[in-house]
Structure 1
Amino acid sequence: MHAGDVIAILESRDLAAQHAEAAAALQEAEASASTTVKGNVPLTNAQDQKSITDARAALENARKTYERRQTLFAEGGISQKELEASKLTMTNAENDLRLAEASTTLHRGVTNPGDIRVAQSKTRQARDRLANLDAQLSYTIVRAPFAGTITDQFQYQGDLANPSAKMVTIADTSRLIAKMQISEQIASTLKAGDTVKVLPDDLPGQTFAGTISLVGRGVDAVSRSVEVWVAVANPTGLLRPNGVARVIISAQPVNNAVIVPSPAVTLDATTAKSGMVMVVDAQSVAHEVHVTVGIRSADRTQITSGLRGGETVVTEGNYGLPDGTKVSIAKPGTTEQ
């Protein structure tokens, strides 16, 4: 799967209902805040608007009456007194309009600032609750955090989802990490970036190149070993997560090294650098030879001094074998009686 692909969808009907309720509450809070900011009460606003409309109509009527009476006065139809009375009526209508407009402005400005802040605070609270529910709803859709393969599934459709329970395991198999415990002595010679060979047990005959990515800084108190990580490219997906493999590390390359089977060396102590090897001469007589060992593994041991190379050594029954004992050399595929 790719990063962002949906893995599972959790049941969320209760959250969806809370989300719808929160959305309605936000709309109500916004409407209340708008009414509080714009004016006192709707009835007062309507009355103020009616007053302005009536004052404008009265002024228009008074102006037209005054204009008609000006014409009549010019023709001698009315007296100067009647003309002046008409002008006074028009002036009073103008004053009434200005008063209505001023009253409306005052009414809109008398809203308590504290009421406005309260209304705005309720709006923010409603908006924050809706955002919180949006976030919770987004968590009900579980998506892949990165590209990979589902290697384990722990929950199935209909199961009760628990925050502490695993749902699936996703592994990025394009690059794997091989973890191992290495002796403290060998680990001290390793560093990040060293190349190694990885031989999976389930893919006999196949070898994968790896690189050391981590050499632990701590030592196990019981085994005296150090944890080492090896990064292995796996573009074809042949390697399986949690598989078992052998790792070959060229920790201390030595030219023309003398190597003997590890069972042929009897060490003076478990952690000693010296020991004894039984070497068989041309007359099939075993002789005790003291040696110094170098690099060791479960199968092979390097001899740094005591042997020249090419000698025949005893690999079975050498412990406690007296010096000068005549032995017989077993041929491959035969069993000593």
Structure 2
Amino acid sequence: MAILRRVGIPLLVIIIIAGLVFLASFFLAGSQTPTTITYTVQRGNISAIVRTTGKVEAVRSVRLSFRTGDLLRRTLVKPGDYVPSGTLLMELDTSALQRQLDQAEAQREIARFNLSASVEKAQSNPNATPASPSELYSLARQSELADNQLAQARAALDNARIYAPFDGTILSVDANEGDYVNPGQAVMTIGDLGHLQVRASIDELDVGNVAVGQAVNFTLDAFPGKTFDGTVTLVYPNPTSQSGSTVYPAIISFTRPNDLYLRPGMAANLSITSVSRTNVLVVPNRALETIGLDRYVTLINPDSSTEKVPVVTGLTNADQTEIISGINEGAKISLPR
């Protein structure tokens, strides 16, 4: 009996432990979530999307400058002002130029008077000694030179003023009254805010898939939840450098909405539809496995067994991939959960 007790107690403990392990594994197995799900291959539409960023800008904007240098006397507008074409915007100190203009006008009047008086004298008094041809030529030449000097004085005065080249909005004023302004120095920017566009940056890896005429959807950080439609109208042939990457500028045209006040400089997030295909077989990207140079899906057979099947893929985007061959519509495949 003592021997049985010595053998029976450890045996009982082993049986109890084995039972607990079995029960634990049973309940744990029942509570585990399957690692795969079943997907039925079906037809759908797929688009290859190029995603990038850009900035809103005026289709037409100009940085204005004077053709001559002097002290800035008057600034007649401020940023945000709408001005019709031809409006005087800025003026340098024109006091010296105005004196030159007045002198040129006076000299022209004198030259014209002398020429006219000489001609009238000859016509009204046939007995008077007429002016010689050389004298008449000299008077005519003086009148012509006076006209030229007056035109130059007017041009010089005009160069000391800046006028609006088109109907637009003043975007910036970059000089203060009293500053000395050099010829060609940008002092103001005007833009047509009625016609806007987006200037985007296309990465060199994507530029081959972007072409004029492609549809674009974009959002603006300034208007969350709003989506805008546009079209690629220009892809520049020459690249630029942006944060160490090579990018190609592109212009996206769109119709400015009347109910929103869009401004130059607003950040845009763009999705360019480079290629679209309809009614093709598509699968989620996570269904695909790459082994070497080939791509596979895990096919679920009618008897629930599985096998890896090679497939030929086509268009792909961030979510799904087109299947050209290898499986048929309605096939069941396994997806990792």
TM-score by length of 1: 0.58
* 1:174 maps onto 2:174 in alignment: no
Q: Which residue of 1 aligns with 2:275?
A: 252
- Normalized per residue, the structure richer in strand is 2
- The answer (yes or no) to whether the contact 1:175–1:231 under 8 Å persists in 2 is no
Q: Which residue of 1 aligns with 2:322?
A: 303
CA offsets 1:93-146 (integer angstroms, 9 cap, x no match): xxxxxxxx9xx634333x210110111111111111112211222233322222
Q: Where do 1:174-323 residues align within 5 Å? A: 174-180=194-200, 181=202, 183-187=206-210, 190-192=211-213, 194-216=214-236, 218=237, 220=239, 227-236=249-258, 237-257=260-280, 258=282, 260-261=284-285, 276=295, 292-297=312-317, 299-300=318-319, 302-305=321-324, 311=333, 313=335
CA offsets 1:223-247 (integer angstroms, 9 cap, x no match): 7865432112224353221222122
- The answer (yes or no) to whether the contact 2:295–2:311 under 8 Å persists in 1 is yes
Secondary structure of residue in 1 paired with 2:266 = coil
Secondary structure of residue in 1 paired with 2:230 = strand
* 1:146 maps onto 2:227 in alignment: no
**Structure 2: 5+ residue runs without aligned partners?**
1-81
- The answer (yes or no) to whether the contact 1:184–1:224 under 8 Å persists in 2 is no
- The answer (yes or no) to whether the contact 1:276–1:291 under 8 Å persists in 2 is yes
| Count of residue pairs the alignment pairs up | 241
CA offsets 1:34-69 (integer angstroms, 9 cap, x no match): 3433458xxxxxxxxxxxxxxxxxxxxxxxxxxxxx
Q: Computing the radius of gyration over CA atoms, which structure comes out larger, 1 or 2? A: 1
1:36 to 96, 113, 118: 118
Inter-partner Cα distance in structure 1 for 2:256 and 2:170: 16
2:184 to 159, 164, 189: 164
Inter-partner Cα distance in structure 1 for 2:289 and 2:195: 40
- The answer (yes or no) to whether the contact 1:36–1:115 under 8 Å persists in 2 is no
- The answer (yes or no) to whether the contact 1:173–1:240 under 8 Å persists in 2 is yes
Q: Which residue of 1 aligns with 2:83?
A: 2
Aligned-partner residue type, residue 182 of structure 2: N
**Structure 1: 5+ residue runs without aligned partners?**
41-100, 269-273, 315-328, 330-337
- Normalized per residue, the structure richer in helix is 1
Question: Whose relative contact order is higher, 1 or 2, with alpha carbons under 8 Å and at least 6 apart?
Answer: 2
Inter-partner Cα distance in structure 1 for 2:91 and 2:99: 17
**Gap change, CA 1:153 and 1:195, over 3 Å in 2:** same
Inter-partner Cα distance in structure 1 for 2:149 and 2:294: 77
TM-score by length of 2: 0.58
Inter-partner Cα distance in structure 1 for 2:288 and 2:163: 58
Q: Which moved more, 1:162-171 or 1:124-133?
A: 162-171
Inter-partner Cα distance in structure 1 for 2:268 and 2:255: 14
**Gap change, CA 1:221 and 1:118, over 3 Å in 2:** closer
